[in-house]
Structure 1
Amino acid sequence: MAPGKKHSNPKAKISSEPAQPPPNWPIFKPLLPASDLSLETVVDSQIIELPLTTTPGKPKKDEALRVNDRFQVTDEAFANRLWIETGLRELICGNGESEDEGEEVMGEGERKELWGGEPVGLNPKIRIYRYSKGQFFGQHYDESNVMTLNTKPTSTPVKTTWTILLYLTSPATGCQGGETVFYPDDLPGKKNVLEKEIVIGLETGMLLLHKHGNECMLVSILV
Protein backbone atom coordinates (compact mmCIF):
# COMPACT_ATOMS: atom_id res chain seq x y z
CA MET A 1 0.00 0.00 0.00
CA ALA A 2 1.46 3.34 -1.03
CA PRO A 3 0.66 6.96 -0.09
CA GLY A 4 -1.64 8.71 -2.53
CA LYS A 5 -2.55 12.27 -3.28
CA LYS A 6 -5.13 14.02 -1.16
CA HIS A 7 -8.26 14.32 -3.23
CA SER A 8 -11.90 13.43 -3.06
CA ASN A 9 -13.26 10.42 -4.86
CA PRO A 10 -16.63 11.32 -6.42
CA LYS A 11 -17.18 7.72 -7.47
CA ALA A 12 -16.66 6.31 -3.99
CA LYS A 13 -19.50 4.03 -2.97
CA ILE A 14 -21.34 4.59 0.28
CA SER A 15 -21.78 1.31 2.10
CA SER A 16 -25.23 0.56 3.45
CA GLU A 17 -23.96 -2.34 5.55
CA PRO A 18 -24.32 -1.80 9.31
CA ALA A 19 -21.09 -1.40 11.27
CA GLN A 20 -19.98 -4.61 12.98
CA PRO A 21 -17.78 -4.94 16.04
CA PRO A 22 -14.46 -6.69 15.36
CA PRO A 23 -14.40 -10.41 16.22
CA ASN A 24 -12.20 -11.96 18.88
CA TRP A 25 -9.31 -12.82 16.56
CA PRO A 26 -7.12 -15.78 17.54
CA ILE A 27 -3.61 -15.26 18.89
CA PHE A 28 -0.86 -15.73 16.30
CA LYS A 29 1.46 -18.67 16.89
CA PRO A 30 5.19 -18.00 17.46
CA LEU A 31 6.76 -16.86 14.21
CA LEU A 32 9.94 -17.67 12.42
CA PRO A 33 12.43 -14.80 12.36
CA ALA A 34 11.81 -12.55 9.37
CA SER A 35 15.31 -13.39 8.15
CA ASP A 36 14.17 -17.03 7.75
CA LEU A 37 11.25 -16.06 5.52
CA SER A 38 11.32 -15.17 1.85
CA LEU A 39 9.14 -13.77 -0.91
CA GLU A 40 8.88 -15.90 -4.06
CA THR A 41 8.14 -14.20 -7.38
CA VAL A 42 5.64 -16.04 -9.59
CA VAL A 43 5.32 -13.30 -12.24
CA ASP A 44 7.80 -10.42 -12.18
CA SER A 45 6.29 -7.26 -10.63
CA GLN A 46 2.81 -8.84 -10.59
CA ILE A 47 2.42 -11.93 -8.36
CA ILE A 48 4.38 -12.69 -5.20
CA GLU A 49 4.00 -15.55 -2.70
CA LEU A 50 4.98 -15.67 0.96
CA PRO A 51 5.00 -19.45 1.57
CA LEU A 52 3.98 -20.91 4.90
CA THR A 53 7.36 -22.60 5.21
CA THR A 54 10.66 -21.35 3.84
CA THR A 55 11.98 -23.37 0.90
CA PRO A 56 15.84 -23.10 -0.71
CA GLY A 57 -16.28 -10.15 -23.61
CA LYS A 58 -14.66 -10.21 -20.06
CA PRO A 59 -16.34 -8.63 -17.06
CA LYS A 60 -15.70 -5.04 -16.06
CA LYS A 61 -14.68 -4.15 -12.53
CA ASP A 62 -17.35 -4.95 -9.92
CA GLU A 63 -19.23 -7.12 -12.44
CA ALA A 64 -17.80 -10.55 -11.66
CA LEU A 65 -20.22 -13.42 -11.03
CA ARG A 66 -19.59 -14.54 -7.46
CA VAL A 67 -21.26 -17.28 -5.43
CA ASN A 68 -19.80 -17.63 -1.92
CA ASP A 69 -20.22 -16.74 1.74
CA ARG A 70 -18.56 -13.53 2.89
CA PHE A 71 -17.83 -11.88 6.24
CA GLN A 72 -16.51 -8.31 6.20
CA VAL A 73 -15.34 -6.11 9.05
CA THR A 74 -13.19 -2.99 9.38
CA ASP A 75 -10.58 -3.74 12.03
CA GLU A 76 -7.52 -1.48 12.12
CA ALA A 77 -5.99 -3.30 15.09
CA PHE A 78 -6.09 -6.69 13.37
CA ALA A 79 -4.76 -5.27 10.09
CA ASN A 80 -1.87 -3.73 12.03
CA ARG A 81 -1.16 -7.06 13.74
CA LEU A 82 -1.03 -8.79 10.35
CA TRP A 83 1.35 -6.11 9.11
CA ILE A 84 3.69 -6.13 12.12
CA GLU A 85 3.47 -9.51 13.89
CA THR A 86 3.72 -11.83 10.87
CA GLY A 87 7.01 -10.47 9.52
CA LEU A 88 5.21 -9.00 6.50
CA ARG A 89 6.41 -5.44 7.18
CA GLU A 90 10.07 -6.55 7.31
CA LEU A 91 9.73 -8.48 4.06
CA ILE A 92 7.91 -5.70 2.20
CA CYS A 93 10.00 -2.82 3.53
CA GLY A 94 13.31 -4.67 3.34
CA ASN A 95 14.28 -4.78 7.02
CA GLY A 96 14.45 -8.54 7.32
CA GLU A 97 16.31 -9.71 4.24
CA SER A 98 18.69 -12.60 4.44
CA GLU A 99 22.31 -11.77 3.77
CA ASP A 100 23.21 -15.14 2.24
CA GLU A 101 26.10 -14.96 -0.18
CA GLY A 102 24.97 -14.47 -3.75
CA GLU A 103 21.43 -13.38 -2.85
CA GLU A 104 20.27 -10.20 -4.55
CA VAL A 105 18.89 -7.52 -2.23
CA MET A 106 16.26 -5.17 -3.66
CA GLY A 107 17.10 -1.48 -3.33
CA GLU A 108 14.75 1.18 -1.97
CA GLY A 109 13.96 2.54 -5.43
CA GLU A 110 13.17 -0.94 -6.76
CA ARG A 111 10.87 -1.61 -3.83
CA LYS A 112 8.95 1.63 -4.35
CA GLU A 113 8.54 0.80 -8.02
CA LEU A 114 7.37 -2.73 -7.22
CA TRP A 115 4.88 -1.81 -4.49
CA GLY A 116 3.69 1.43 -6.10
CA GLY A 117 5.19 3.79 -3.52
CA GLU A 118 6.32 3.68 0.09
CA PRO A 119 4.54 0.79 1.90
CA VAL A 120 2.94 1.99 5.14
CA GLY A 121 0.45 -0.70 6.18
CA LEU A 122 -2.60 -2.76 5.28
CA ASN A 123 -6.17 -1.90 4.39
CA PRO A 124 -8.21 -2.30 7.61
CA LYS A 125 -11.14 -3.73 5.66
CA ILE A 126 -10.88 -7.49 6.33
CA ARG A 127 -12.87 -9.95 4.24
CA ILE A 128 -13.24 -13.66 4.88
CA TYR A 129 -14.60 -15.82 2.05
CA ARG A 130 -15.96 -19.34 2.35
CA TYR A 131 -16.57 -21.46 -0.72
CA SER A 132 -18.79 -24.54 -0.61
CA LYS A 133 -19.10 -27.18 -3.33
CA GLY A 134 -20.22 -25.54 -6.57
CA GLN A 135 -19.42 -21.99 -5.45
CA PHE A 136 -16.86 -19.76 -7.18
CA PHE A 137 -15.63 -16.22 -7.84
CA GLY A 138 -15.72 -15.54 -11.58
CA GLN A 139 -13.14 -13.67 -13.64
CA HIS A 140 -12.70 -10.13 -12.33
CA TYR A 141 -10.31 -7.26 -11.63
CA ASP A 142 -9.55 -5.94 -8.13
CA GLU A 143 -9.77 -2.16 -7.81
CA SER A 144 -7.56 0.22 -5.86
CA ASN A 145 -8.99 2.08 -2.87
CA VAL A 146 -8.16 5.63 -1.80
CA MET A 147 -8.37 6.04 1.98
CA THR A 148 -6.68 7.42 5.07
CA LEU A 149 -4.77 5.29 7.57
CA ASN A 150 -4.87 6.35 11.21
CA THR A 151 -1.10 6.40 11.62
CA LYS A 152 0.73 8.24 14.39
CA PRO A 153 1.41 11.10 14.94
CA THR A 154 -0.67 12.14 11.91
CA SER A 155 -2.98 10.28 9.55
CA THR A 156 -1.61 9.16 6.18
CA PRO A 157 -3.53 9.42 2.87
CA VAL A 158 -2.95 6.22 0.89
CA LYS A 159 -3.91 4.31 -2.21
CA THR A 160 -3.97 0.51 -2.16
CA THR A 161 -1.86 -1.19 -4.83
CA TRP A 162 -1.81 -4.92 -3.97
CA THR A 163 -4.30 -7.59 -2.90
CA ILE A 164 -3.25 -9.97 -0.10
CA LEU A 165 -4.88 -13.39 0.14
CA LEU A 166 -4.31 -15.54 3.23
CA TYR A 167 -5.37 -19.15 2.71
CA LEU A 168 -7.08 -20.76 5.72
CA THR A 169 -7.54 -24.22 4.20
CA SER A 170 -5.73 -26.56 1.79
CA PRO A 171 -5.88 -30.12 0.41
CA ALA A 172 -4.05 -31.19 3.58
CA THR A 173 -7.11 -30.12 5.62
CA GLY A 174 -9.56 -31.84 3.26
CA CYS A 175 -10.27 -28.86 0.99
CA GLN A 176 -10.81 -29.57 -2.70
CA GLY A 177 -10.52 -26.75 -5.22
CA GLY A 178 -10.11 -23.10 -4.27
CA GLU A 179 -7.17 -22.38 -6.57
CA THR A 180 -6.53 -18.78 -7.63
CA VAL A 181 -6.19 -18.47 -11.41
CA PHE A 182 -4.65 -15.60 -13.39
CA TYR A 183 -5.43 -15.23 -17.11
CA PRO A 184 -3.80 -13.60 -20.14
CA ASP A 185 -5.45 -10.22 -20.67
CA ASP A 186 -6.52 -8.89 -24.06
CA LEU A 187 -8.12 -5.61 -23.01
CA PRO A 188 -7.35 -2.80 -25.53
CA GLY A 189 -4.43 -0.63 -24.46
CA LYS A 190 -3.44 -2.90 -21.56
CA LYS A 191 -0.11 -4.69 -21.42
CA ASN A 192 -0.48 -8.46 -21.33
CA VAL A 193 2.06 -9.90 -18.88
CA LEU A 194 0.99 -13.56 -19.20
CA GLU A 195 1.28 -15.97 -22.10
CA LYS A 196 -0.92 -18.63 -20.47
CA GLU A 197 -3.02 -19.20 -17.38
CA ILE A 198 -1.24 -19.44 -14.02
CA VAL A 199 -2.87 -21.50 -11.28
CA ILE A 200 -1.82 -20.90 -7.66
CA GLY A 201 -2.56 -23.84 -5.38
CA LEU A 202 -3.51 -23.16 -1.78
CA GLU A 203 -1.66 -24.09 1.39
CA THR A 204 -2.96 -23.29 4.86
CA GLY A 205 -1.19 -20.16 6.11
CA MET A 206 0.29 -19.14 2.75
CA LEU A 207 0.04 -15.52 1.61
CA LEU A 208 -0.53 -14.61 -2.04
CA LEU A 209 0.06 -11.02 -3.15
CA HIS A 210 -1.03 -9.73 -6.55
CA LYS A 211 -1.11 -6.23 -7.99
CA HIS A 212 -4.51 -4.58 -8.35
CA GLY A 213 -5.92 -1.34 -9.71
CA ASN A 214 -5.01 -0.28 -13.25
CA GLU A 215 -2.39 -3.03 -13.45
CA CYS A 216 -4.57 -5.82 -12.09
CA MET A 217 -4.59 -9.04 -14.04
CA LEU A 218 -7.76 -10.98 -14.80
CA VAL A 219 -8.27 -13.36 -11.85
CA SER A 220 -10.78 -15.91 -10.59
CA ILE A 221 -11.25 -18.42 -7.74
CA LEU A 222 -12.17 -21.94 -8.80
CA VAL A 223 -13.95 -24.44 -6.56
Structure 2
Amino acid sequence: MPPKGSKRKDTAPASSAKSATTTIAKSTARPNWPPLEPLVPNCDLSLSTLVENQIITIPNFFTASLCKTYVSFLSSLPFLTTPAKPKKGDAVRVNDRFQIEDPAFAEQLWNSTALKDLVCGSAISEYDYAEEGMSEAARRQLWGGEVVGLNPNIRIYRYRKGQFFAQHYDESNKLSLPTTPTATPAKTTWTLLIYLTSPSSGCIGGETVFYPDPSTSSSSNGLTSGKSVVVSLETGTALLHKHGEDCMLHEGLEVKEGEKWVIRSDLCVRR
Protein backbone atom coordinates (compact mmCIF):
# COMPACT_ATOMS: atom_id res chain seq x y z
CA MET A 1 0.00 0.00 0.00
CA PRO A 2 1.39 3.41 -0.88
CA PRO A 3 2.12 5.73 2.03
CA LYS A 4 -0.78 7.89 3.18
CA GLY A 5 -0.82 11.12 1.22
CA SER A 6 1.53 9.83 -1.46
CA LYS A 7 1.16 11.17 -4.98
CA ARG A 8 2.74 8.29 -6.81
CA LYS A 9 1.02 7.40 -10.06
CA ASP A 10 1.70 4.12 -11.82
CA THR A 11 4.97 3.90 -9.93
CA ALA A 12 7.01 0.76 -9.44
CA PRO A 13 7.78 -0.50 -5.92
CA ALA A 14 11.05 0.68 -4.42
CA SER A 15 12.60 -2.76 -4.91
CA SER A 16 12.34 -2.55 -8.70
CA ALA A 17 15.73 -2.52 -10.39
CA LYS A 18 14.59 -0.81 -13.58
CA SER A 19 12.01 1.79 -14.50
CA ALA A 20 10.76 3.49 -17.65
CA THR A 21 8.67 6.54 -18.36
CA THR A 22 5.50 6.86 -20.38
CA THR A 23 5.13 9.95 -22.53
CA ILE A 24 1.42 10.62 -22.85
CA ALA A 25 0.11 12.16 -26.04
CA LYS A 26 -3.43 13.46 -25.60
CA SER A 27 -5.56 13.58 -28.71
CA THR A 28 -7.81 16.59 -29.24
CA ALA A 29 -10.00 15.17 -32.01
CA ARG A 30 -12.88 13.19 -30.51
CA PRO A 31 -13.11 9.71 -32.07
CA ASN A 32 -16.34 8.65 -33.69
CA TRP A 33 -16.89 5.85 -31.19
CA PRO A 34 -19.05 2.94 -32.36
CA PRO A 35 -22.46 2.63 -30.68
CA LEU A 36 -22.42 0.73 -27.39
CA GLU A 37 -24.59 -2.09 -28.72
CA PRO A 38 -25.54 -4.85 -28.46
CA LEU A 39 -25.35 -5.03 -24.67
CA VAL A 40 -26.45 -7.68 -22.20
CA PRO A 41 -29.64 -6.50 -20.40
CA ASN A 42 -28.95 -4.83 -17.06
CA CYS A 43 -31.02 -7.42 -15.22
CA ASP A 44 -28.65 -10.17 -16.43
CA LEU A 45 -25.50 -8.48 -15.09
CA SER A 46 -24.09 -8.32 -11.57
CA LEU A 47 -21.10 -7.22 -9.55
CA SER A 48 -18.85 -10.13 -8.60
CA THR A 49 -16.55 -9.58 -5.62
CA LEU A 50 -13.04 -11.06 -5.81
CA VAL A 51 -11.58 -9.21 -2.81
CA GLU A 52 -14.02 -7.45 -0.49
CA ASN A 53 -13.85 -3.66 -0.80
CA GLN A 54 -10.94 -3.95 -3.25
CA ILE A 55 -11.58 -5.92 -6.46
CA ILE A 56 -14.92 -6.33 -8.26
CA THR A 57 -15.70 -7.62 -11.76
CA ILE A 58 -18.70 -7.37 -14.07
CA PRO A 59 -18.67 -10.41 -16.40
CA ASN A 60 -20.19 -9.83 -19.86
CA PHE A 61 -20.25 -6.05 -19.38
CA PHE A 62 -19.51 -5.82 -23.12
CA THR A 63 -20.77 -8.52 -25.47
CA ALA A 64 -18.24 -10.43 -27.57
CA SER A 65 -19.54 -8.80 -30.76
CA LEU A 66 -19.23 -5.30 -29.24
CA CYS A 67 -15.67 -6.09 -28.16
CA LYS A 68 -14.83 -7.22 -31.69
CA THR A 69 -16.32 -4.02 -33.12
CA TYR A 70 -14.29 -1.88 -30.72
CA VAL A 71 -11.00 -3.68 -31.33
CA SER A 72 -11.44 -3.14 -35.07
CA PHE A 73 -12.25 0.54 -34.54
CA LEU A 74 -9.56 1.22 -31.95
CA SER A 75 -6.90 -0.25 -34.24
CA SER A 76 -7.30 2.85 -36.44
CA LEU A 77 -6.48 5.33 -33.66
CA PRO A 78 -3.06 7.03 -33.41
CA PHE A 79 -1.21 5.17 -30.64
CA LEU A 80 1.98 6.17 -28.87
CA THR A 81 4.37 3.41 -27.86
CA THR A 82 6.00 3.92 -24.49
CA PRO A 83 9.66 4.93 -24.86
CA ALA A 84 12.48 2.69 -23.66
CA LYS A 85 14.42 5.49 -21.96
CA PRO A 86 14.00 5.06 -18.21
CA LYS A 87 12.87 7.76 -15.80
CA LYS A 88 13.49 7.33 -12.10
CA GLY A 89 10.37 6.60 -10.06
CA ASP A 90 8.09 5.39 -12.87
CA ALA A 91 6.87 1.84 -13.32
CA VAL A 92 8.13 -0.17 -16.27
CA ARG A 93 5.36 0.05 -18.85
CA VAL A 94 5.75 -1.33 -22.36
CA ASN A 95 2.58 -0.87 -24.40
CA ASP A 96 0.77 1.32 -26.91
CA ARG A 97 -1.52 4.03 -25.58
CA PHE A 98 -4.20 6.44 -26.80
CA GLN A 99 -5.63 9.07 -24.47
CA ILE A 100 -8.33 11.71 -24.84
CA GLU A 101 -10.53 13.96 -22.72
CA ASP A 102 -14.00 12.93 -23.87
CA PRO A 103 -16.82 13.74 -21.42
CA ALA A 104 -19.46 12.59 -23.92
CA PHE A 105 -18.01 9.08 -24.25
CA ALA A 106 -17.50 8.84 -20.48
CA GLU A 107 -21.16 9.78 -20.04
CA GLN A 108 -22.17 7.08 -22.54
CA LEU A 109 -20.17 4.43 -20.70
CA TRP A 110 -21.80 5.51 -17.45
CA ASN A 111 -25.43 5.99 -18.50
CA SER A 112 -25.89 3.80 -21.60
CA THR A 113 -24.57 0.61 -20.00
CA ALA A 114 -25.45 -1.22 -16.77
CA LEU A 115 -22.59 0.45 -14.91
CA LYS A 116 -24.57 3.25 -13.27
CA ASP A 117 -27.35 0.91 -12.15
CA LEU A 118 -24.91 -1.61 -10.70
CA VAL A 119 -22.68 0.90 -8.94
CA CYS A 120 -25.45 3.16 -7.64
CA GLY A 121 -27.70 0.32 -6.54
CA SER A 122 -30.56 0.54 -9.03
CA ALA A 123 -29.88 -3.08 -10.02
CA ILE A 124 -29.59 -6.10 -7.76
CA SER A 125 -26.08 -7.55 -7.65
CA GLU A 126 -24.10 -10.29 -5.97
CA TYR A 127 -22.56 -7.66 -3.73
CA ASP A 128 -25.92 -6.42 -2.39
CA TYR A 129 -26.50 -6.91 1.32
CA ALA A 130 -30.27 -7.26 1.03
CA GLU A 131 -32.84 -8.11 -1.60
CA GLU A 132 -33.70 -4.45 -2.15
CA GLY A 133 -30.01 -3.62 -2.64
CA MET A 134 -27.22 -1.98 -0.68
CA SER A 135 -28.05 0.96 1.53
CA GLU A 136 -26.89 4.41 0.47
CA ALA A 137 -24.43 4.48 3.37
CA ALA A 138 -22.98 1.09 2.36
CA ARG A 139 -22.55 2.21 -1.24
CA ARG A 140 -20.78 5.41 -0.16
CA GLN A 141 -18.47 3.42 2.08
CA LEU A 142 -17.66 0.95 -0.70
CA TRP A 143 -17.00 3.47 -3.47
CA GLY A 144 -15.50 6.21 -1.31
CA GLY A 145 -18.38 8.66 -1.59
CA GLU A 146 -21.32 9.56 -3.83
CA VAL A 147 -20.46 8.28 -7.30
CA VAL A 148 -21.29 10.94 -9.89
CA GLY A 149 -19.88 9.44 -13.09
CA LEU A 150 -16.73 8.40 -14.91
CA ASN A 151 -13.47 10.20 -15.46
CA PRO A 152 -13.65 11.84 -18.93
CA ASN A 153 -9.94 11.05 -19.32
CA ILE A 154 -10.37 7.95 -21.53
CA ARG A 155 -7.33 5.75 -22.09
CA ILE A 156 -6.99 2.91 -24.58
CA TYR A 157 -4.23 0.36 -23.99
CA ARG A 158 -2.88 -2.13 -26.52
CA TYR A 159 -0.37 -4.72 -25.35
CA ARG A 160 1.34 -6.73 -28.06
CA LYS A 161 3.46 -9.85 -27.68
CA GLY A 162 6.24 -9.19 -25.15
CA GLN A 163 4.59 -6.07 -23.68
CA PHE A 164 3.58 -5.69 -20.01
CA PHE A 165 3.02 -3.26 -17.13
CA ALA A 166 5.25 -3.89 -14.08
CA GLN A 167 4.16 -3.67 -10.45
CA HIS A 168 2.67 -0.30 -9.55
CA TYR A 169 -0.05 1.61 -7.71
CA ASP A 170 -2.80 3.75 -9.28
CA GLU A 171 -3.23 7.14 -7.64
CA SER A 172 -6.41 9.10 -7.03
CA ASN A 173 -6.87 12.35 -8.94
CA LYS A 174 -8.98 15.45 -8.33
CA LEU A 175 -10.97 16.87 -11.24
CA SER A 176 -14.09 18.79 -12.18
CA LEU A 177 -16.74 16.96 -14.19
CA PRO A 178 -18.21 19.18 -16.93
CA THR A 179 -21.82 19.04 -15.73
CA THR A 180 -24.54 21.67 -16.08
CA PRO A 181 -25.39 24.20 -14.85
CA THR A 182 -22.08 24.12 -12.96
CA ALA A 183 -19.09 21.79 -12.92
CA THR A 184 -19.05 19.05 -10.27
CA PRO A 185 -15.90 18.86 -8.09
CA ALA A 186 -14.88 15.20 -7.99
CA LYS A 187 -12.08 12.78 -7.28
CA THR A 188 -11.34 9.30 -8.61
CA THR A 189 -11.59 6.31 -6.25
CA TRP A 190 -11.71 3.11 -8.33
CA THR A 191 -9.98 2.17 -11.59
CA LEU A 192 -12.24 0.83 -14.37
CA LEU A 193 -10.73 -1.55 -16.93
CA ILE A 194 -12.81 -3.10 -19.72
CA TYR A 195 -11.11 -6.11 -21.33
CA LEU A 196 -11.83 -6.46 -25.03
CA THR A 197 -9.73 -9.57 -25.71
CA SER A 198 -8.95 -12.92 -24.08
CA PRO A 199 -7.55 -16.35 -24.96
CA SER A 200 -10.72 -16.98 -26.98
CA SER A 201 -9.70 -14.12 -29.29
CA GLY A 202 -6.04 -15.14 -29.41
CA CYS A 203 -4.58 -13.17 -26.48
CA ILE A 204 -2.41 -15.38 -24.28
CA GLY A 205 -1.03 -13.92 -21.06
CA GLY A 206 -1.62 -10.34 -19.92
CA GLU A 207 -3.46 -11.25 -16.71
CA THR A 208 -3.82 -8.55 -14.04
CA VAL A 209 -2.25 -9.70 -10.78
CA PHE A 210 -2.85 -8.09 -7.37
CA TYR A 211 -0.71 -8.52 -4.27
CA PRO A 212 -2.68 -8.02 -1.03
CA ASP A 213 0.61 -8.34 0.87
CA PRO A 214 3.41 -6.83 -1.26
CA SER A 215 6.08 -8.27 1.05
CA THR A 216 5.20 -11.80 -0.12
CA SER A 217 5.27 -11.06 -3.87
CA SER A 218 7.97 -10.95 -6.49
CA SER A 219 8.08 -10.53 -10.24
CA SER A 220 10.69 -11.38 -12.82
CA ASN A 221 10.12 -11.48 -16.58
CA GLY A 222 6.37 -11.81 -16.08
CA LEU A 223 6.63 -14.61 -13.51
CA THR A 224 5.06 -14.11 -10.09
CA SER A 225 5.21 -15.95 -6.81
CA GLY A 226 3.79 -15.52 -3.34
CA LYS A 227 0.28 -14.55 -2.32
CA SER A 228 -1.63 -13.01 -5.21
CA VAL A 229 -5.04 -12.55 -6.80
CA VAL A 230 -5.03 -13.22 -10.54
CA VAL A 231 -7.72 -11.69 -12.75
CA SER A 232 -7.76 -13.62 -16.01
CA LEU A 233 -8.65 -11.90 -19.26
CA GLU A 234 -12.24 -12.56 -20.27
CA THR A 235 -13.67 -10.84 -23.32
CA GLY A 236 -16.11 -8.13 -22.23
CA THR A 237 -15.37 -8.30 -18.49
CA ALA A 238 -15.14 -5.01 -16.60
CA LEU A 239 -12.70 -4.89 -13.69
CA LEU A 240 -13.06 -2.35 -10.89
CA HIS A 241 -10.32 -2.02 -8.30
CA LYS A 242 -9.79 0.54 -5.55
CA HIS A 243 -6.97 3.00 -6.07
CA GLY A 244 -5.34 5.89 -4.23
CA GLU A 245 -4.16 5.42 -0.65
CA ASP A 246 -5.75 1.95 -0.41
CA CYS A 247 -4.58 0.70 -3.80
CA MET A 248 -3.17 -2.82 -3.94
CA LEU A 249 0.17 -3.38 -5.59
CA HIS A 250 -0.61 -4.87 -9.01
CA GLU A 251 0.77 -5.54 -12.49
CA GLY A 252 -0.23 -6.56 -15.99
CA LEU A 253 1.68 -9.69 -16.96
CA GLU A 254 3.50 -10.04 -20.26
CA VAL A 255 1.41 -10.87 -23.30
CA LYS A 256 2.70 -14.14 -24.77
CA GLU A 257 0.63 -14.23 -27.96
CA GLY A 258 -1.88 -11.98 -29.72
CA GLU A 259 -2.95 -8.57 -28.44
CA LYS A 260 -4.50 -7.36 -25.19
CA TRP A 261 -6.94 -4.47 -25.61
CA VAL A 262 -8.28 -2.43 -22.67
CA ILE A 263 -10.52 0.62 -22.22
CA ARG A 264 -9.62 2.55 -19.05
CA SER A 265 -11.48 5.15 -16.99
CA ASP A 266 -12.18 5.70 -13.27
CA LEU A 267 -15.15 6.01 -10.94
CA CYS A 268 -15.58 9.60 -9.74
CA VAL A 269 -17.15 10.63 -6.44
CA ARG A 270 -18.30 14.06 -5.39
CA ARG A 271 -15.81 16.05 -3.29
TM-score by length of 2: 0.67
Flag the 1:138–1:16 CA change in 2: closer, same or farther, 3 A: closer
In structure 1, runs of 5+ residues without a counterpart are: 1-9, 54-60, 188-194
Displacement, 1:155?
1.1
Cα–Cα, structure 1 residues 62 and 118, in superposed 2: closer, same or farther, change >3 Å?
farther
Larger proportion of strand: 2
Structure 1 residues 120, 171: CA separation in 2 closer, same or farther (over 3 Å shift)?
Answer: same
Whether the aligned pair in 1 keeps the contact of 2:26 and 2:98 (CA below 8 Å) is: no
Structure-2 residue corresponding to 1:199: 230
Cα deviation, residue 104, structure 1 = 7.1
> Match of 2:118?
91
Aligned partners of 1:41 and 1:121: how far apart in 2? 21
User: 1:136-194, CA deviations, whole angstroms, 9 ceiling, x for partnerless residues?
Assistant: 1000000001000011222110010000000011111011111000013347xxxxxxx
C-alpha offsets along residues 15-66 of structure 1, whole Å, 9 cap, x if unaligned? 984542111111111333322210000000000000017xxxxxxx962111
**How many residues are paired up?**
197
Task: Confirm whether residue 35 of structure 1 aligns to residue 43 of structure 2.
Answer: yes
The answer (yes or no) to whether the contact 2:58–2:237 under 8 Å persists in 1 is yes
In 2, Cα distance between equivalents of 1:31 and 1:17: 31
Please point out which of 133, 137, 142 is paired with 2:165. 137
In the alignment, which residue of structure 2 is the partner of 1:173? 201
Partner Cα distance (1:38, 1:220) in 2: 25
The superposition leaves residues 51-101 of structure 1 with CA deviations (integer Å, 9 ceiling, x where unpaired) of 017xxxxxxx9621111111111111000000011110011001122699x
Counterpart in the other structure of 2:141: 113
Tell me the TM-score normalised to structure 1 length.
0.81
Q: Which residue of 1 aligns with 2:152?
A: 124
Contact 1:166 1:206 in 2 (8 A): yes
User: Runs of 4 or more off by more than 4 Å in structure 1?
Assistant: 15-19
Unaligned residue ranges in structure 2 (runs of 5+):
1-6, 9-22, 62-87, 216-225, 255-271
State the partner residue of 1:63: 90
Alignment correspondent of 1:164: 192
Is 2:220 the counterpart of 1:220?
no
Give the alignment's Cα RMSD to 1 decimal: 2.7
- Residue pair 1:167, 1:205 contacting (<8 A) in 2 also: yes
Q: Which residue of 1 is the match for residue 102 of structure 2?
A: 75
Distance of aligned partners of 1:196 and 1:16 in 2 relative to their CA distance in 1, 3 Å threshold: closer
| Contact 2:172 2:187 survives alignment (8 Å) | yes
Change (3 A) 1:16 1:87: closer
Q: State whether residues 68 and 136 of structure 1, in contact with CA within 8 Å, keep that contact through their aligned partners in structure 2.
A: yes
Alpha-carbon distance in 2 for matches of 1:66, 1:199: 19
Give the superposition deviation at 1:105: 2.4
What is the alpha-carbon distance in structure 2 between the residues aligned to residue 103 and residue 16 of structure 1?
44
